[in-house]
Structure 1
Amino acid sequence: MVIELITQQIPLVLNALFLASVLFLLGTGLSIIYGMLNFLNLAHAAFLVLGAYVASTVVTQIVGVFGDTLGTSGLFIILVLGLLIIVPFIIAMVGLTMEQTIFKPIYGLEDDYQLLATFGVILMMEDGMKFIWGGQPVTASAPSELLGSISLLGGSTYPLWPIFGTVLTMVIGIVLYYFFEETRLGKITLAMAEDDEIVGVTGINTRLVHLQVYVIGITLAALGGALFIPNASMTSGLALQFVILAFAVLVIGGLGSLKGAIAASLLIGFTRSFGSYYIPQLELAIVFILMAAVMLIKPTGLFGDIKA
């Protein structure tokens, strides 16, 4: 009985950690863009979905070109490089184009105008992705299939890809911490989040820093999509669901806090994983309940600090 109970919990824990990893990449990107540019970009989550769609095409093309010439290990390495390099690069280029043409004109507007404008961008991106990839579910399971699975207690198996994605996200989190705490650009970013006008007086090209941080945020979202697609399927309409989860990370963790993004992602990941298993009727509502509970206790989020 005990072994059976433990066997049920292990996949739920692993699923929660993987979902938390995807949400961390999504929420952290949104948080640094908002903290730097004061730009409330609802469309940020659509870049994760676009990254997943592009990843499915990249995987299909790589398998088609190299599938018969490389062994299992070689093909897996090429696929991972494609997901971690090609996909973020493509999405970053798309994001930069949209920043120059759509987002830049609405910087500085009130939050409600930004929300309305970027919600419209979500709808446009959703229609664009549906036009390119169709309305049927899209998947790219080759990396997960090549990596295989492990045996759990009770004889069940679990795919290794979510574990791989979780470990890789931990490495990315460490790199981000080092970036903000130890690098010159990271320290400038934190200073500009406090007062970009003062930073500009020192002669630093704040516009260039804005673009660099924006690209980092978009790249993180693209990585979230690239890690998500080998273990799931992507359908039109998921961008709106990820929007809710991304803002839940911001609200629960607190704006501009890396520690907050980690904590919020873990809370939401475990809540969604166990909630969907034990009370599937409340799978999405439970996230709102968690948000409300945190806001009642600490309105600025777990690690947020809103100054007057």
Structure 2
Amino acid sequence: IAMEEGNETLTTDFILLGLFPKLKYVNVLIYVIILIYIAAVTGNFILLLLIWMDLRLHTPMYFLLSQLSVVDLALISSTVPKMAINFFSGKKNITRLDCGTQLFFFFTLGGAECILLTLMAYDRYVAVCNPLRYAIIMNQEVCLKMAIMSWVGGVFASTTHTSYTMNLPICGSREIHHFFCEMPAIMKISCKNTSTYELLVFVMGIGFILIPFGLIMSSYILIFLTVLHMKSPQGRNKALATCSSHLTVVSFYLGPCVFMYMTPGSSHTPDQEQAVSVFCTILTPMLNPLIYSLRNKDVVGALQKVLGKHLVFKQN
């Protein structure tokens, strides 16, 4: 049902054109993404299970890491299932409510991840630069407040973006050149001049992307200066191992965010935006548990311990 109100078209649904609609063998890509989704869900679930089961992992660092896994699980689940359902059913529509809900969760989880990555860098700073006071500074209450702050910050950013984006007037075609409801893609089909809002997006990007990146870099400069003065090679290697995992995740996540939200929307093609979104919302949630597991002896040890118990149980 469509109604005309001035130049604005009001309908009940948007049309998601899907992942790279001009790509010849897009079905192969969809199957690959579904495999990545299964791997991401499995990897993050195993990491959460290990952190819960192994008492050695009941530390502030792993508590924050468990929050990151929850964010990654929810982030990839907010986009991939709907994309797969639309592809296999042949339908491309998404209701306005579902679109707004998808947009809200995307920004909530994205904002929470930015804040969490910053707090994880602070945790590493305290652990390396102030180890004697680590247990006092990073106590259980502080960790809980950090987790709450991440989620509240994400909800705040998301509420602002979602309320504005979903109230944009749409003229003519309601086809969203994306595989999910993304803000830049919706802004491109609006008949309203969004240049003022793009400036607000840039300002909020400073708060949620550039400032966190600056704080993370500041933490690691102080960490590396401390590591250089360490006399124990074993302690130096352990500190660098945990920090390198986190820095890799930061670069994978914040780098694409700068391209998407800190540069003018007119400078991006729909395919470029989709490629960045695939990396941020699909590949990163799969890579995070692998990066933290393969480069972390504590996690590998916990996995071996659980597998060892399982094998012993089966033999008995």
TM-score, length-scaled by structure 2: 0.33
Q: Which one has the largest radius of gyration?
A: 2
Q: Which of structures 1 and 2 has the larger relative contact order (alpha carbons within 8 angstroms, sep 6+)? A: 1
